[in-house]
Amino acid sequence: MRNDFDDYCPASVSRGELEDIASITVRLMPYYGRDIEKMRDMPREQAVAYRQELREKGMFYDAAKAVDIYSHGNFCASHLSNFCKTDFIFEGINIKSMEGFLQSLKTSNQEEQIHICSLAGKEAKKAGLAVAGFDGKHLYWQGETIDRFSEQYHVLVRRAYHARFEQDNLFRKALMEAKNKQLLHTIGNNDPKVTILTVDEFIGFLQELQEKL
């Protein structure tokens, strides 16, 4: 259950004249997604202590310069997340989230694949983890077997991201707003043997799309 405190450390505030409200600038300094996720699962007192530790160690970033992609983050962070709900057609299949599409690649059963594509967020992740027999190497799309470590796999996933880009206005808006910022994904993993999409692969696809804007 989510703890009821901010995902931001105390903001840095610069002020002009007191009567000029428009001159007040608040600089948001969000905690990293990996740390927010840890706090979400902690008892409140422990989470408050951990937040204080993060603050003292300077474990936060400048939201004006970076976006840490995370489903519970701000507009850019959440809409760039693979967990985000979307609605686009890719090669005849209705995709409700990029997470659903990616997790669906684990099953050779086409009916199950279509079902997983219809899911979003943790529900999609859970469905992918429940696929029987997934060995981390063999993936499937519409009856074709694909090697996780092949160029064929990257071409397929790239096409899916481009399909979302063409059909999802909010996804394009988030990419545009984050265009001049560093893209982070601290809750991700960079080992292709344990994740269906590494941080570097994910960020790389998003940066390719930003070049189209």
Taking only the tens place, the pLDDT of each residue in 99-137 is: 999 999 999 999 999 999 999 999 999 999 999 989 999
Q: What is the CA 97 to chain-centroid distance, rounded?
A: 11
Q: What is the pLDDT of residue 10?
A: 41
Which are the contacts of 60, defined by CB distance < 8 A and separation ≥ 6? 8, 9, 29, 30, 31, 32, 54
The Cα 138–Cα 150 span in angstroms is 10
CB-CB contact of 203 with 182 (8 Å): no
pLDDT tens sequence across 7-40: 544 443 333 333 444 444 445 678 888 888 888 8
Q: How many separate domains does the chain show?
A: 1
Rounded to two decimals, the pTM is 0.84
Residue 194 within a domain: no
The average pLDDT across 172-192 equals 96
Average pLDDT over residues 177-205: 96
Q: Which domain holds residue 166?
A: 81-180
Residue 58 — very low, low, confident or very high, per pLDDT cuts 50/70/90?
A: confident
In a domain, 161, yes or no: yes
The residues near 147 (Cβ < 8 Å, ≥ 6 apart) are 137, 138, 139, 153
Query: Does residue 119 lie in a domain region?
Result: yes
Structural domain contains residue 25: no
Whether residue 96 lies inside any domain: the answer is yes
* 52 pLDDT tier (thresholds 50, 70, 90): confident
